[in-house]
Amino acid sequence: MLLEGEIVVITGAGRGIGKATALLFASEGAKVVLAARNRTQLEEVASHIADLKGECLILPTDVSIENEVTACFDQALGHFGRIDILINNAGVLYNGPFLETSLEVWDQLLGVNLRGVILCTRAALPTMVANGSGKIINVASGAGLRGLPGGSVYAASKAAVIALGASLAGEVEANGIKVNTICPGPINTEMQNPSRHKDAVQKSSKLLPPDDVAGAALYLASKLSGKTSGQTISVRTSNRW
């Protein structure tokens, strides 16, 4: 198993990429902390992990709220004693013209997509520094690399995550910590397909499965990636953003 005994915190773990990553990591021997706002979704993921004979801890958390993040990581450390891997995956999507995007929407998306990454990374880093090892994997978006007309707030938040990861990698390299970023293209998740009407089903056939992103995360989280750090990996087909 590639992650035998590793302690992993995954945000946005209740569905989509986070769920796929949690199940894959559990199947590879990791002990998984499941963090997201929706307890019901987390409990469903936990039941699948139990079927895999894996171990997990459910911690409902809004990553944009500092005291909730602090409580989440305090409980994770109290239960498992350390954190080896952090997957900053929680995110929200908004599409709309720039001039029609309210400041409230900007605050909401930046709060989850960027502030959430900052808060969780700040919470995880001290134990990683103390242990002299750790891996942080941020899930950004291809929109952060290439822009997204009609989705400026989302693209801007993800571009900031990419820059944060590349910058932090150089800071913590001497502490034995590796930081990398995954930039998915369009993925078949509830965030991309909030409804299952006919058009959404047809669109879903053109989207990549969340398992593709989970596989990239497994590579970066395991020994397979060696000393790789400060890198941004795209997961997409050749003709999709």
Q: Which residues are catalytic?
A: 154
Query: In this structure, are strands 177-184 and 55-60 parallel, antiparallel, or unpaired?
Result: unpaired
One-letter-per-residue 3-state SS of 5-30: CCEEEEECCCCHHHHHHHHHHHHCCC
Asked whether 193 and 206 are in contact (CB, 8 A), the reply is: no
> Sign of dihedral through CA atoms 32, 127, 120, 165?
negative
| Block residue for tokens 């002990």 | 31
